[in-house]
Amino acid sequence: MLNFKLPSRPRLTTLLTVSICSTVAVIVLSLLFLVDHFAVDYAKKEAKQRLQQLSWQMRDSLDLVMQKAVGDVSLLAQLSQVKDAKDPKEVGSILDNLQKTFPSYAWIGLANPDGKVFAATHAVLEGQDVSQRPWFKSGKLGLYAGDYHPALLLEKKLPYNADPWRFVDVSIPVLRSDGSSRGIMGVHLSWNWARDLAKNLLAPTDSQYGVEIIVVREDNTVILGPKALEEKKITSQSVELSRSGKTGATEETWADGNSYLTGYSQTGRSKEFPGLKWSILVRQPKEVALQASRQLRHDILLLGSVLGLLLAGIAAILARRLAAPLNELSAAIEKRGKGASGQAIPVVTSFHEAHVLSVILGEMVRNEEQHVLALRKMNEGLESTVAERTREIENKAQELEKALAQQQSTQLRLQAITDNLPSVITYIDAGQRYRFVNAHATSVFGVMPDQMIGKTLEEISGEQAYAVMKPHIQAALQGENISFEMTGIGDNQRNYQYNYIPAKDAAGQVEGFYAMTFDITDRKRVEAMKNEFVSTVSHELRTPLTSINGALKLIVAGVTGEIAPKAKELLTVALRNADRLVRLINDILDIEKIESGNMEFDLKSNPLVPLIKETVAASEAFAEQYGVVMKFEYAGEDLNVKLDRDRFVQVLTNLLSNAIKFSNTGEFVEVLVENKEKTVKVTVADHGSGIPEDFHDKIFQKFSQVDSSNTKKKGGTGLGLNICKTIIEHMHGTIGFHSVAGKGSQFFFELPKE
């Protein structure tokens, strides 16, 4: 459905009609322009040429007659009958004969030198005095041509003429045979010949189309032409041009206000005879000359208009024919647009393109219907999917809400639990900022938990404490479980134990760590009291115990005399326990010394190998008791190590005694020395019971013993390795071990070389 308004556009019919009419108009106008420019020009040129030619013909004819007259007069003057004439009749008959050959000779006469006419045609004017006539006067001087003039003496003597008599004269002096003057021979040419000439020259069509011949004398008087102009003076461009000797045709406006095309030329161009200079103008009104081309223009305009109208009609019919199928198609589409979905697109067959268009449109509409159907189905499917998804999302949201509420309550519970615990529990992120703090934090840091959240460890702990904690924090952030003790800074002299437990994400990356801080001040105090008590007791016990032990040894050895076997057995058990007790007390006293900082270390450079040999030798007897073989071989040069001899022997003896104790009969216990770049490594290796994996991290702790019947049998205090570690660390070394349960152990320590 068209749900928008189309802007109004011109219809196809209008467009076609307008364009065809415009084309015709343009063609007609172009034709008119061409006709105006070329046909009119051509017609003008043609007319000018014709008029010019007529003017030439007239000029030539006039010149010819004048020359004839001159020739005739000259010939007469040469005739002996004329030269030496005595009888006027004889001359008269010659003249009459000549006149007969050319009737335009109105009068031919011979005048005596005194001016009396001696002989003339038809004896006219014979005896009359013509001495004052210009032809006579000028003829005396030589060949003379007299210009157009009215008849004076002859007017009444000559027969009646429709036009008044006008003449042109030619005269010549006549000399007798002896050379004396006989008189003047003159010819009066009737102007009628010129008039006839003009009439004959103009074909009937010429006169019909207004062509006129005008002859103008040198004084601008029209001597031949339309009646209205005759013997009147005129001025015109053509006259001027002809005077300058030019010949041609021009377009000019005459005194009557009309525009004429005028051909012009001039007579009297002969060199032998100074003839009369007449301007010969042949004119035709411009309108008439160009009438044919104007008619052509009119005809073209008419034809163009008719053609235009015809084509416009055809265009309108054609446009309607073209538009009809399109209208039919658009009407069908519009109906469809208005909701008539059943409306089929008609197949129109009026012309090929419309046929193709209708077929394609029909196809498109069918396709569109199918698409719409498919879309509708898809939409329905989509709607149900959306509804389903919405339901799912709602359910998820509810679940999430529940989970959130649960989490919140869990968090609250967790907070409540942690708040009630007697230790500070915090969570610190990778940026070392507090993210969780329990209520107990206030008692340690003096800051409310919510004031700690978001703050860094450094901000809360202070610079000094942070400097101590920093390496532990970094270790925890690298994934290590950390435990360390620290005394409060400044006035706070309480003791704290810090435990850092790294928190890792699913990928195993450390996100932060949990920090638990316990106030161990009280525990420390009790421990100190206990230690003091133990050391006091130990000190008090050592002296009597040593004497008891000595006494027992002497008795068992039989120094005090023979004892009953039963008593010896009991005394041996007592001696063994006393031994153990002495060892225990020595160890406790050592520990006490270490912890109170009273153990002295006399660090000196000592050759290592002899010291090891001595210690191994000292343990031989103990090894023998267990049926264990001791081995120590070292081929390299001796090594000097900075150490306290007694303490070193104490450590090595302890490691050897452990190795021996936990070996099986017949096994080896080896001592190895490795000379490393900066340190010397001493290893005591056995092949005995080994240490179970779960005990590895506790082995250096105080009173720690593997919980097995075997260990119990071996005796011992569980303090030896702890003392070893402390001693080695005091000598700036490190201690460690490798052990696989059932396969034996290697305990080693490294001390820096000199």
- Count the residues in the chain: 754
Q: How far is the CB of 729 from ligand ADP (least distance, A)?
A: 15
Q: How far is the CB of 712 from ligand ADP (least distance, A)?
A: 9
690 token code pair: 């080994």
Residue among 751, 740, 616, 608 nearest 684 (CA): 616
User: CA 445 to CA 448: how far, in whole Å?
Assistant: 8
R_g over Cα of the chain: 80
> 310 vs 740, which CB is nearer to ligand ADP?
740
38 token code pair: 């070329």
Q: How far is the CB of 744 from ligand ADP (least distance, A)?
A: 7
Residues in binding contact with ligand ADP, number by CB under 6 A: 20
194-202, 425-433, 632-640, 703-711 -> range binding ligand ADP (CB under 6 A): 703-711
SS3 374: helix
Residue in 279, 293, 658, 683 binding ligand ADP, rule: CB under 6 A: 658
Residue among 699, 698, 685, 674 nearest 751 (CA): 674
Residue in 720, 727, 731, 735 binding ligand ADP, rule: CB under 6 A: 720
| Burial status of residue 653 (CB atoms within 10 A of its CB: 0-12, 13-18, 19 or more) | middle
**Per CB under 6 A, does 692 bind ligand ADP?**
no
User: CA 366 to CA 360: how far, in whole Å?
Assistant: 10
19-27, 61-69, 104-112, 653-661 -> range binding ligand ADP (CB under 6 A): 653-661
69-77, 102-110, 632-640, 709-717 -> range binding ligand ADP (CB under 6 A): 709-717
**Per CB under 6 A, does 659 bind ligand ADP?**
yes
556 token code pair: 């068992």
x/- track of binding to ligand ADP for residues 120-159 (CB under 6 A): ----------------------------------------
**Per CB under 6 A, does 192 bind ligand ADP?**
no
131-139, 259-267, 521-529, 713-721 -> range binding ligand ADP (CB under 6 A): 713-721
**Per CB under 6 A, does 721 bind ligand ADP?**
yes
Q: How far is the CB of 746 from ligand ADP (least distance, A)?
A: 9
Q: How far is the CB of 699 from ligand ADP (least distance, A)?
A: 6
Q: How far is the CB of 578 from ligand ADP (least distance, A)?
A: 16
User: CA 717 to CA 714: how far, in whole Å?
Assistant: 10
Q: How far is the CB of 659 from ligand ADP (least distance, A)?
A: 5
User: CA 32 to CA 413: how far, in whole Å?
Assistant: 109
**Per CB under 6 A, does 749 bind ligand ADP?**
no
Q: Which long-range contacts (CB under 8 A, 24 or more apart) does 156-165 make?
A: 157/124, 157/125, 158/106, 158/107, 158/124, 161/190, 161/192, 163/191, 163/192, 163/195, 165/106, 165/190, 165/191
User: CA 57 to CA 51: how far, in whole Å?
Assistant: 10
Q: SS3 letters for 698-748? A: HCCCCCCCCCCHHHHHHCCCCCHHHHHHHHHHHCCCEEEEEEECCCEEEEE
**Per CB under 6 A, does 699 bind ligand ADP?**
yes
DSSP 452: H
**Per CB under 6 A, does 66 bind ligand ADP?**
no
Residue in 745, 749, 750, 751 binding ligand ADP, rule: CB under 6 A: 745
Give the pairing type, strands 668-675 and 629-632: parallel
75-83, 95-103, 469-477, 714-722 -> range binding ligand ADP (CB under 6 A): 714-722
Q: How far is the CB of 412 from ligand ADP (least distance, A)?
A: 46
x/- track of binding to ligand ADP for residues 660-689 (CB under 6 A): --x-----------------------x-xx
> 229 vs 719, which CB is nearer to ligand ADP?
719
- Phi, psi at 346, each rounded to 5°: -70, 150
**Per CB under 6 A, does 705 bind ligand ADP?**
yes
How crowded is residue 693: how many other Cβ atoms within 10 Å of its Cβ? 10
**Per CB under 6 A, does 110 bind ligand ADP?**
no
Q: How far is the CB of 586 from ligand ADP (least distance, A)?
A: 11
**Per CB under 6 A, does 591 bind ligand ADP?**
no
What CA–CA distances, in Å, run from 523 to 484, 520, 597?
Answer: 15, 5, 20
Residue in 323, 599, 691, 731 binding ligand ADP, rule: CB under 6 A: 691
User: CA 591 to CA 586: how far, in whole Å?
Assistant: 9
Q: SS3 letters for 11-46? A: CHHHHHHHHHHHHHHHHHHHHHHHHHHHHHHHHHHH
DSSP 430: T
**Per CB under 6 A, does 711 bind ligand ADP?**
yes
Q: How far is the CB of 681 from ligand ADP (least distance, A)?
A: 17
**Per CB under 6 A, does 726 bind ligand ADP?**
no
Residues engaged in binding ligand ADP (CB under 6 A): 654, 658-659, 662, 686, 688-689, 691, 699, 704-706, 711, 716-721, 745
